[in-house]
Structure 1
Amino acid sequence: LIPPARQTVAEYAVLHRLLSNQGGGYVGRWHHEKAPYLVGPMETLNRLDYLTTVVVGPGQSGKTEIAQNWLQKSIETDPADMLWYMQTDPGLESYVKSRINPMITSHPGMGMRLGTRAIDDSLHFKRFEGMHVEFLSASANNVINKSAPRIVADEVDAYDPALGDIKTLLDVRRQTFGRQSMLLAMSHPDQARGIIPERDWAAGIMAMYADSDRRVWYWPCPHCGAWSSPVPTAARYMVLQYDDQQSLDEIERNARLICPVNGCVIEDRERRAMNVAAYRSPFGGWIGDGQELTQDGKVIGELVARKSAGFWIVGVMSPFILGGIGGLARAKVKAERELEVSGEDKALRQVTVKQFGFPYAPTRGVGSIDANVLAERGDTELKLGIVPDGVRFITMAVDTQLANWEWLARGWGVGSQSWVIDRGRIPGDPATSAEDWDRLLELYAKTFPLADGTGRRMPVRAMGFDSAGQPGVTQQAYAAWRRWKRNQHPRLIGKIAGRDAWTLIPTKGADALAAQRLVVTYPDTARKANKAASGGTVPVARFNPNLFKDDLAGQLQRADIGDWYVHFPHALRSPEQPHVWFEQLTSESQLKNGRWEKNAPGRRNEALDLMVMNHVIAQLHGLHGIDWTKPPSWAKPWDTNSSILKNGAPLPAANAAPGSTPAAPANGTQSKKSAVHRYR
């Protein structure tokens, strides 16, 4: 008569689950330390504040064990009828024979409760004391006329597309049980088309994950202690790095994880301790919507209250991957090379989805854009250095060269149309001269006259500068930012899309193809080897150059004026062909694996890099999220734009934009000394 103890599925598994892998593999009691990321999903299965648990993950990551542990606990201590769906009858029958039946045999608590009649124990139906379990293929006939408070939907992205929204169908099967019901949905993300939720997660397991509290796994770097995540949507994404030009054996041997905060190189053997450290942290390794994890492991904010708990497992988290992270890298490069030869992406899709656990984004075919065709769009009514009608705000990008800096200002307007405003070069020594770096403050202070002839001027909303290059450049770039920050030049606008939006920020392109689109990190540049980082002070906008070059290619291919169209002043053309600036803009092409490379060694690509970097800064400041029917004050039409300067001062505005730069004199004349002095 004594009721069973209140236990989560995770707690019960530690005490009662036995693993017996015939033919090899681990044999013995269940230990959370083997795959600690499974604990979070198991702890939500018997909570009444959730109706659904969603688990995204690659094959052989242990996610099906979540369902088996739930089954064992249900049979032995907490009986309730269960429906268990898989994609096909043959696959389901094989699974019951190879996994479920041996599990019942290995656990006396399950076997003694199994019915003794022939009809109580079949491949599709098993009756236990107080409950029964039906193992069904996901077909229209099996989904209707069924009812149970507990439902397992395994590999939902492999179900027949004709079923439609499987979650809606399964919710009907358990709706009479209300808060006492639970749906456990698991799959690798076959139906997603990329990692951008609003665009790519319209169906399958990623659509369910999008409706959940979207938890991702964070673990600490074993060298500097900074926390980051191997999940590509995380604020600080830890990438798998390898040289895809090496042989497959060398790639497998040399692949490493790279800490996104301080660039620490992490070996495959260190992953287990990272997983365990994450599990033993106060937050258990999982961080979801509404929460933010600082670099030193402090949780800020509260997890949003949703009816679905969502967990995203990726391949580099799993201890079960064949060959470790080197095996993952090898498989991906091999598939990319097959794509290069055959043009077929089936192998690459399988590796991405089923081994990495990432949604697969098919490589977009980007046609070759001719420099002369772009040059023909040069508009004689647009003048370099003058802000044309339509521009609402300006970004600026600075590219570091051997003996100078190249810069370009780009204006942005309704529908994300853009205009090249001006360009130039600043001579100097980026690798050694702090004084030369300080000359960039003049650029940051630059304002541009409006084309209406009123004398009003538009300042630069934000500026990004390249912090990579020859030895010494990164050190000088970070030191310059710290120096400028002491004099209050860079200003933090706040958080936009979860990223810190600074008005002046170093940038760095990521090498990995799978790198996150855009993230702001704070590398601890003063750290000592093997010392835990307490958090850096310099923000760095790290971006995926391949994705942003994809975007630019799409923008340049648009020949009719509209959203994302790029306007060019006629002065960007050379007196005769070849048009040098436009040749730089088209100096690279996209390979079949998605990487962009120069069309010929030694070709100049500054124009391309500067256009991309401007887009990075504009996105950092919320370009993609602007509602142009009611834009922020700094992106309004000129007469009401809070950042416009008149007679050396901003126009009156109650809601002047935070972080707007001080004004230049209306006539635009100033000495270097006066400009720098005014900012100090």
Structure 2
Amino acid sequence: MNALMSPAALQDGIEELASGECLVDAFDLIGAAIELLTPPESISTVDCAEKYRKLPGPEDGAVIPYDRWRTPHNIGPMNALDDEACNLLVMPKPSRSGGTAVMENYVFKRIKFGPMTWVSWVLNSDEAVTAYCRNVVKPMFELNPDLQARVGTARGDDTDAFKKIRGYPVEWLSAKDSTFRNRQPGVMVLDESDANTKKYQSSPRTQIDGRQKLLGNRKKGAIISHPDLGWKAGVGAAYEDTSRGIFVLRCCHCLSHAAAYATKFWPGVPQFKLDWQKDPEASTDERLDMAEKTAAIYCPHCGAAISDDERRAMIDAAVTSGGNAIDGYMHRGQRLDPEAGVIGDPDPTPNRGFWVHGTMLKTETMGKLARDYQAALIHYERTRDPKLLKEFMSKQLGEIFEGAATLGNLSADKVMERAKPSDQNPGYDRGTVPAEVRFITAAVDTGARKFDVAFKGWDLEGRSWLIDRLTIRQRRHADGTMRDLHLSQNVDDWLVLIDEVVERRFPLEDDPDLVMPVACICVDSGDGNVTWKAREFARRALTAGHVWGKRWAKVKLIKGASGKRPAVPDAPRKVDKGEDGKPVEPVIVEYTLGADELKVTIYERLAIDDGSPGECSFYRGFEQRFADEFFGETKTDGKWVRSGPNETLDLYGYAEAARQILKPDRADIKWAQGKLPPWAKPVPLQPKGGDPVRGGNEAPAQAEPKKKRSTIDRFAALNQRN
């Protein structure tokens, strides 16, 4: 009976209900559930950020909306993330370029509109996580209440570095073992990965692939960092296996197109260049002020200096002008025509790369950039310590510091320019000896299944002319069949060098009836797998009579060694024992070269372009791949580090060693009087008695001893033979 209400209580309840005080407004109910009743908004990452995201202003607690035109170079990367076919985004970038905001905006859109997934954001240290969460994550949720409303309310669902949103974790972590275990995030961001600990900095792509390999095409990964580690690791290495996007600008003066920064992967693509007036004799303050006041980017086509206002307008136009460029970027599969712009369609790839350069930042002035650049150069001039310059290149320019190549303002494109004929320099044909050449050296770099070979001609002041560059991979056997070389297994394979290198002769450009022999051949024996085969080859060549005079061997074995040592030692090391440790004849010698010193010398000479002593010249049609090999190794922090094929760089060092071994400057050689040593004397192409008959690739038999003759007779015979 207690459950029954009295008539009076019932009357009071009816009146209370009738008053509406206990009822919820129907419109409030609909408003609370409207998200469940409305399909998610179909919106791009860029539009979502610009329409909904609020950011802390620079002062006085201001709140500002996201503005795409503050960093228009980031529109392309954000649009790429919206493409379902894109699984990985790689962005080498300078500081304060807004690159991190690309992924922030993408995660913002996923949280707000879905589809939601597990998000792992990895920074380089616990301190970096704390600072990022305090300065970026916290304001993101505080200034955007609709995001905060999606965060779970259970204990642990809402901390500084962890949010549970619609049942999925969104976490900010430091790069360490536990981070890369037992996780399968649908979105994984490696932020400033080049600053990770050594264990994780070299292979960010591997870390992402390991965590996402079971997700198929639903995954998104991002590697965003300054290119601190160069081409060999980190974001620079990851960029290679992407679409390799570069930003293309159109000059406001001549209307021709060029890249903001072409990277080494786009040889031949012209690029705008930051430059300023320089006076090495001025004081430091004067040099810095001059850099700031005169800085501009210069068009590679018309040479016009482009002001900051013009540059900013060009950046906006690159994104909006349409054409085949995608949001201003050119990708693999496309090509650049200076007049027409980007031509063709990009190759399909799930890995999208976007290289951001300091000259692409609208928020930066070229005056400040040039002043900081000049300051870093002055610091290097005084201390020879490249650390500050390396930091500037990576963090402010967004370029990779390439040691001597950077300091000498060298690139593969500049080397290729040397090989192009012009009115002032018509060039010379491959395999011919220019008139300036006094003698020839050869260099052989040994691989497991190949020989890389270079022939260089020299004058008496260190100027050089590349006469030929080739790779030998096969030799003809007795049955006439060409078979691959196997240098660590078969010493007979080495004998291909006799005909192809040791006995090679080159016609003179101004008299093709005369040919010049190869004076000295340096063969690399440093690979432990082939050392003893190289030594046996040198013995066979010596025994077969490939000498100058009585016993001066044409073939010289060399090994490169790092560290401080002379380019070529005063005395070589004798090798008088075989692989079995027993004495063997003839005794040969090996030179241990100062490889570091030789490489520095080569870079210094490559930088010479005014005809001065040491200048390097190249035959017409010199191949791009060989030019690239000059820059497959860089000197960083005092050490040479290989980042790609470097055979041509090594060959130039070996050819220089051969030049020094010859000692062409010694007093007993009377160059001015025309009394040439036999290794520098051209000989008739058709010696008396017709062409010498040669067999296969086997070494010639040793000549039988002859009666003693006068010096004149011996030199005459040598000239006739060689």
TM value normalised by structure 1 = 0.57
1:301 aligns with 2:324: no
- Matched with 2:206 is 168
Partner of 1:189: 227
In structure 2, the partner of 1:228 is: 258
- Decide whether aligned partners of structure 1 residues 273 and 622 sit closer, same or farther in structure 2, where only a CA change above 3 A counts: same
Q: Is the 8 A contact 1:392 1:411 kept in 2?
A: no
2:616 to 605, 612, 627: 612
Instruction: Note the alpha carbon deviations across 1:571-593, whole angstroms, 9 max, x for none.
Output: xxxxxxxxxxxxxxxxxx989x9
Query: Distance in 1 between the 2:298 and 2:191 partners?
Result: 32
Partner of 1:108: 145
For residue 45 of structure 1, give the secondary structure of its aligned residue in structure 2.
helix
1:392 positional shift: 5.6
Distance 2:126 2:439 in 1: 61
User: Given the superposition, is the C-alpha separation of residues 306 and 90 from structure 1 closer, same or farther in structure 2, using an over 3 Å criterion?
Assistant: same
Shift of 1:620: 5.3
**1:449 CA drift (Å):** 3.7
C-alpha separation in 2, matches of 1:365 and 1:288: 25
Aligned residue number for residue 384 of structure 2: 343
- Cα 1:268–1:26 change in 2 (3 A) is farther
Q: 1:264 to 1:258 in 2, by over 3 A?
A: same
DSSP-derived class of the 1:94 partner: helix
The counterpart of 1:448, out of the listed 499, 512, 515, is: 512
Aligned counterparts of 1:50 and 1:174: Cα–Cα separation in 2: 14
CA 1:121–1:408 in 2, change beyond 3 Å: closer, same or farther? farther
Aligned equivalents of 1:236, 1:597: Cα separation in 2: 19
Unpaired segments ≥5 residues, structure 1: 193-200, 367-386, 398-405, 424-443, 454-555, 561-588, 599-603, 628-644, 647-680
Q: Alignment partner of 2:404: what SS? A: coil
- RMSD over aligned CA atoms reads 4.1
> 2:291 matched to 1:251?
yes
For residues 157 and 127 of structure 1, the distance between their equivalents in structure 2, rounded to whole angstroms, comes to: 29
By how many angstroms is 1:72 displaced?
0.8
- Whole-angstrom distance in 1 between the partners of 2:239 and 2:357: 14
Aligned-residue offset at 1:134:
0.8
Q: 1:625 to 1:326 in 2, by over 3 A?
A: closer
Change over 3 Å in CA distance of 1:48–1:22 after alignment to 2: same
For 1:67-466, list aligned pairs within 5 A.
Answer: 67-78=103-114, 79-163=116-200, 165-192=203-230, 201-233=231-263, 234=266, 235-245=269-279, 247-282=287-322, 283=325, 284-321=327-364, 324-363=365-404, 393-394=431-432, 415-420=452-457, 448-449=512-513, 451=515
Deviation at 1:26, TM superposition (A): 9.1
Flag the 1:4–1:410 CA change in 2: closer, same or farther, 3 A: farther
Residue pairs, 1:483-632, within 5 angstroms: 606=611, 608=613, 611-614=615-618, 618-619=622-623
When residues 446 and 105 of structure 1 are mapped into structure 2, their CA distance, relative to the original with a 3 A threshold, is farther
Q: CA deviation at 1:448?
A: 3.3
The Cα of 1:124 is off from its aligned counterpart by: 1.9
Counterpart CA distance in 2 for 1:411 and 1:620 is: 22
Q: Distance in 2 between matches of 1:292 and 1:115?
A: 49
In the TM superposition, residue 268 of structure 1 has moved relative to its aligned partner by 1.8
Q: 1:596 to 1:171 in 2, by over 3 A?
A: closer
Equivalent residue pairs, number: 434
Q: Is the 8 A contact 1:188 1:353 kept in 2?
A: yes
**Residue in structure 2 matching 1:52, options 79, 88, 111:** 88
In the alignment, the residues of structure 2 paired with residue 447 and residue 73 of structure 1 have an alpha-carbon distance, to the nearest angstrom, of: 73
Give me the whole-angstrom Cα distance separating, in 1, the residues matched to 2:60 and 2:358: 21
CA deviations on 1:186-233 (whole Å, 9 max, x unpaired) are 0000111xxxxxxxx221001110011100001111111111112142
Pair 1:452–1:87, CA change in 2 (3 A): closer
Aligned match of 1:8: 44
Distance 1:225 1:413, change over 3 A: farther
Letter in 2 for 1:96: C
The separation in 2 between residues aligned to 1:110 and 1:447, in whole angstroms, is 81
Superposed CA offset, 1:325-357 (max 9, x none): 111111121112112222322211111111011
**Percentage of matched positions with identical amino acids:** 27
Given the superposition, is the C-alpha separation of residues 171 and 408 from structure 1 closer, same or farther in structure 2, using an over 3 Å criterion? same
Indicate if the aligned counterparts of 1:37 and 1:313 stay in contact, CA closer than 8 A.
yes
CA distance 1:239–1:212, change in 2 (3 Å): same
Distance across 1 between alignment mates of 2:291 and 2:164: 51
Task: Tell me by how many angstroms 1:625 deviates.
Answer: 8.1
Equivalent runs, 1:28-47 vs 2, <5 Å:
28-47=64-83
Q: What's the CA shift for 1:418?
A: 2.8
Distance 1:308 1:345, change over 3 A: same
SS at match of 1:312: coil
Kindly provide the CA deviation profile for residues 296-330 of structure 1, in whole angstroms up to 9, marking residues without a partner as x: 24332331222210000011111233xx1111111
Instruction: Identify if the C-alpha distance between structure 1 residues 623 and 254 changes in structure 2 by more than 3 Å, giving closer, same or farther.
Output: closer
